[in-house]
C-alpha cells in the first residue's frame, strides 16, 4: 500500500491554544515533516465568528462556522478539538470518532466527564483519541504515566495542576497581598478568567485529578465523588503562620489508594518547605508520584499557555500522523479501565491546621484539648499567635486523625462559649509523608 504523504487536520477552535498550534505547525513544519514522515497541513478551522480578525493571516476559505465542513470532510484525517467546554465539543468528538477520524484534544472537562465512553467509541471505530494537553499543559505527564511507568504500581500522586491558583498563592505569600488583589492581577495578566470559579474553587484541578486517577489507578471516578476545597479561604496570615512553622500552602490534586479503595481530591495543604512541590511557584505546575519500581518521580513545567499547550497538542498530532502514515495501530492513550470502590472522605486519615479566635481567658487551651480528646483527635502543636482587645488567635496542628472525628470535634469546638470565630482549616502534609 502506498504511504500517505500528507495528513490533513481539521481544527475545532482557534483561540489561545488553536493559534499556538497553527503557529507551531508553521514554525517547526520541516522538523515535524521529518519526524512524522509526511506533511501536516491545516485544511479547515471551525470558529464561532468567521469575520473576527485573527492573529494569524489565513485565507478566509479556511474558516467555517459549520462543524460538518470538518467532521464530514472526506480528506480530513485528524480532528483537533480546541474549543473548550463540554457541549458541543463532546458531540463533535463523538461524531469524528464515528467517522473513523482520530481525535486530538486538550479538553479536560470532556475527558474527565466522558473520557471512558469516548475511549470505547475510538476502540470500536478502530481509531484513537489523544489528550496529552488536557493535564499539565506542556508537561509530558499522561504518556509517561501510561507508557514509561507502565511497569509500576502507582499508589499515590500529588500535583500542583492549576497555574492560576499557584500564581495567586505565590503573589500572596511573597508580597503579603490579599487574595482579591492577587486575583485581580492574575486577571489583568491573562492568567485568570473574568469568572475565576473554575480555577479558584478547584473545578479545573478536579477534572485533571480524574484524568490522572484514570491513568494511575485504571479507574474513572465521577466528578461527584471528587472532594473539592478551593483557595478563597486562604489569607496572608495563614501563609505567614505556615511559613513560621516550616510550611507553604499549595492547592493540590491528590490521588491515593487505601486498601483497594481510591481517593481523589483537590484541596489546599500545608506542605513542608523541604517537599519537592514546595518549590513550585508562580504559574508553574508539577506532579510528584511514587512508583513501586521507579521510586519518587517529579514532572515540572508550564501547565498552560498557547505554546506550552500547543507543544503537547502538536506532539499528539505528530504521533497520530505517524501512526496513519506507517499504518501502526497506536493505542497510546487507550487506558484499560475497571470500576473500583471510592474511599469516602470521612474515612480518610489527615492531619489538620486550624486557626481560630478565642476569648482571652484562662482555660481555653484546656477546653480545646479536652473537646478534641473526646473525639480521639490528638494535638501535635498549639500556640497562641496574638491577642487583641480581649481575644486571642490560636493556631494548632493535629496528629493524623480520621476526618469524620476531626469535623465532629470542630463542630463542637465552634459552639464552645470560649471560641469566637473559626478562621481557617487546611490539611497538612507532615514531613516525610505525602498525605
- Kindly name the residue from 208, 250, 302, 324 that is annotated as catalytic: 208
Pick between residue 82 and residue 97 the one whose CB is nearest to ligand NAP.
82
Q: Which one-letter DSSP state was computed for residue 132?
A: G
Count Cα neighbours of 326 within 13 Å in the Cβ-side half-sphere.
Answer: 11
CA of residue 111 relative to chain centroid, distance: 12
Binding site for ligand NAP (CB under 6 A): 13-18, 46-49, 52, 82-84, 88, 106-108, 133, 137, 304-305, 309
Enclosing H/E stretch for 380: strand 379-388
- Cα–Cα distances in angstroms (integers) from residue 133 to residues 18, 65, 109, in the given order: 12, 24, 12
Q: Strand (E) positions, 178-310? A: 227-228, 247-258, 261-272, 284-291, 295-302
- Cα–Cα distances in angstroms (integers) from residue 95 to residues 35, 100, 196, 286, in the given order: 29, 9, 31, 34
To ligand NAP, the closest distance from the beta carbon of 282 in angstroms equals: 14
Q: Tell the residue number behind the cell numbers 499504518, with chain if given.
A: 327
Nearest-CB residue for ligand NAP: 15
Residues whose CB is less than 8 angstroms from the CB of residue 177 and which lie 6 or more positions away in sequence, other chains included:
171, 185, 236
Three cell numbers at 239? 501563609
Is 120 an active-site residue? Answer: no
Pick between residue 15 and residue 37 the one whose CB is nearest to ligand NAP.
15
Pick between residue 269 and residue 286 the one whose CB is nearest to ligand NAP.
286
Pick between residue 133 and residue 159 the one whose CB is nearest to ligand NAP.
133
Pick between residue 106 and residue 121 the one whose CB is nearest to ligand NAP.
106
To ligand NAP, the closest distance from the beta carbon of 19 in angstroms equals: 7
Residues marked as catalytic: 208
Amino acid at each position: 500500500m502506498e504511504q500517505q504523504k500528507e495528513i490533513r487536520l481539521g481544527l475545532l477552535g482557534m483561540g489561545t491554544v488553536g493559534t499556538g498550534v497553527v503557529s507551531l505547525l508553521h514554525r517547526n513544519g520541516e522538523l515535524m515533516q521529518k519526524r512524522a514522515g509526511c506533511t501536516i497541513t491545516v485544511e479547515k478551522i471551525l470558529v464561532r465568528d468567521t469575520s473576527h480578525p485573527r492573529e494569524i493571516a489565513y485565507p478566509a476559505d479556511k474558516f467555517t462556522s459549520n462543524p460538518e465542513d470538518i467532521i464530514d470532510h472526506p480528506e480530513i484525517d485528524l480532528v483537533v478539538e480546541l474549543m473548550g467546554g463540554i457541549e458541543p465539543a463532546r458531540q463533535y468528538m463523538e461524531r469524528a470518532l464515528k467517522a473513523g477520524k482520530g481525535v486530538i484534544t486538550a479538553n479536560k472537562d470532556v475527558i474527565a466527564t466522558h473520557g471512558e465512553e469516548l475511549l470505547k467509541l475510538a476502540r470500536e471505530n478502530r481509531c484513537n483519541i489523544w489528550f496529552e494537553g488536557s493535564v499539565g499543559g506542556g508537561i509530558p505527564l499522561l504518556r509517561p504515566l501510561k507508557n514509561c511507568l507502565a511497569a509500576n504500581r502507582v499508589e499515590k500522586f500529588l500535583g500542583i495542576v492549576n497555574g492560576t491558583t499557584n500564581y495567586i498563592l505565590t503573589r500572596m505569600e511573597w508580597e503579603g497581598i490579599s487574595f482579591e488583589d492577587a486575583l485581580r492581577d492574575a486577571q489583568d495578566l491573562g492568567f485568570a478568567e473574568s469568572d475565576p470559579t473554575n480555577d479558584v474553587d478547584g473545578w479545573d484541578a478536579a477534572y485533571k485529578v480524574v484524568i490522572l486517577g484514570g491513568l494511575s489507578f485504571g479507574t474513572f471516578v465521577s466528578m461527584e465523588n471528587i472532594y473539592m476545597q478551593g483557595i478563597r479561604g486562604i489569607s496572608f496570615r495563614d501563609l505567614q503562620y505556615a511559613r513560621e512553622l516550616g510550611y507553604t500552602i499549595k492547592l493540590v490534586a491528590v490521588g491515593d489508594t487505601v486498601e483497594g479503595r481510591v481517593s481523589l481530591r483537590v484541596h489546599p495543604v500545608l506542605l513542608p518547605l523541604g517537599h519537592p512541590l514546595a518549590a513550585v511557584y508562580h504559574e508553574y505546575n508539577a506532579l510528584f508520584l511514587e512508583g513501586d519500581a521507579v521510586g519518587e518521580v517529579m514532572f515540572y513545567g508550564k501547565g498552560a499557555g498557547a505554546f506550552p499547550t500547543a507543544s503537547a497538542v502538536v506532539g499528539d498530532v505528530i504521533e497520530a500522523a505517524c501512526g496513519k502514515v506507517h499504518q501502526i495501530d497506536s493505542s497510546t492513550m487507550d487506558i484499560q479501565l475497571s470500576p473500583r470502590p471510592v474511599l469516602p472522605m470521612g474515612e480518610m486519615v489527615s492531619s489538620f491546621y486550624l486557626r481560630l479566635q478565642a476569648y482571652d481567658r484562662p482555660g481555653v487551651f484546656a477546653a480545646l484539648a479536652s473537646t478534641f480528646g473526646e473525639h480521639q483527635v490528638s494535638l501535635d502543636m498549639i500556640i497562641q499567635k496574638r491577642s487583641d482587645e480581649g481575644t486571642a488567635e490560636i493556631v494548632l496542628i493535629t496528629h493524623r486523625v480520621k476526618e469524620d472525628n476531626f469535623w465532629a470535634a470542630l463542630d463542637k469546638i465552634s459552639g464552645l462559649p470560649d471560641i469566637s470565630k473559626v478562621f481557617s482549616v487546611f490539611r497538612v502534609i507532615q514531613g516525610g509523608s505525602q498525605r
